[in-house]
Amino acid sequence: MKGIRADGTPIKVMAVDDSPISRKMIKKALEPVGFLIVGEAGNGKEAVERYPQFQPDIITMDVTMPVMDGLDAASIIKGINPQQKIIMLSAMGDDDIINQAKSRGINDVCCKPFKAEELLEKILKVLEN
């Protein structure tokens, strides 16, 4: 299963999105192939607060969220741990957002709606590097 490493341990994912439905869809895409969703957050502030306890291999981060958006949360998390891998998910795919994501150190962008295959391939590619 693609979400399980050679040593048998699952890849740990933290899902950050203000839509509980979106978080369910991410779980539905990743859990059947072995990924482990270790934690969730509903906005950027929660993501920053919960991140240390979950220690994910990778974070899926929505952009537009209340309280604190995904771009700001990513900047803060990268500040705490520059090695942390983050994939941004967004329904707004314009160049401006993509450039902003890159400037915050976000490793890749996946547009919504995402196909399960596309998301997991992007996750695996980011973790390889």
Residues that bind other proteins (CB under 8 A): 18-22, 24-25, 28, 65-67, 90-95, 111-113, 115
In the complex with other proteins, the residue whose CB is nearer, 17 or 57, is: 17
In the complex with other proteins, the residue whose CB is nearer, 32 or 79, is: 32
At its nearest, how many Å lie between other proteins and the CB of residue 81? 27
Element (H, E) at 16: strand 12-16
Q: At what angle do helices 70-80 and 95-103 cross, to 10 degrees?
A: 20
At its nearest, how many Å lie between other proteins and the CB of residue 20? 6
In the complex with other proteins, the residue whose CB is nearer, 19 or 99, is: 19
Neighbouring-strand partners of residue 14: 39, 59
In the complex with other proteins, the residue whose CB is nearer, 29 or 86, is: 29
At its nearest, how many Å lie between other proteins and the CB of residue 128? 26
At its nearest, how many Å lie between other proteins and the CB of residue 118? 10
Given a contact cutoff of 8 angstroms between Cβ atoms, the answer to whether 10 and 35 are in contact is yes
Given a contact cutoff of 8 angstroms between Cβ atoms, the answer to whether 3 and 26 are in contact is no
Given a contact cutoff of 8 angstroms between Cβ atoms, the answer to whether 3 and 36 are in contact is yes
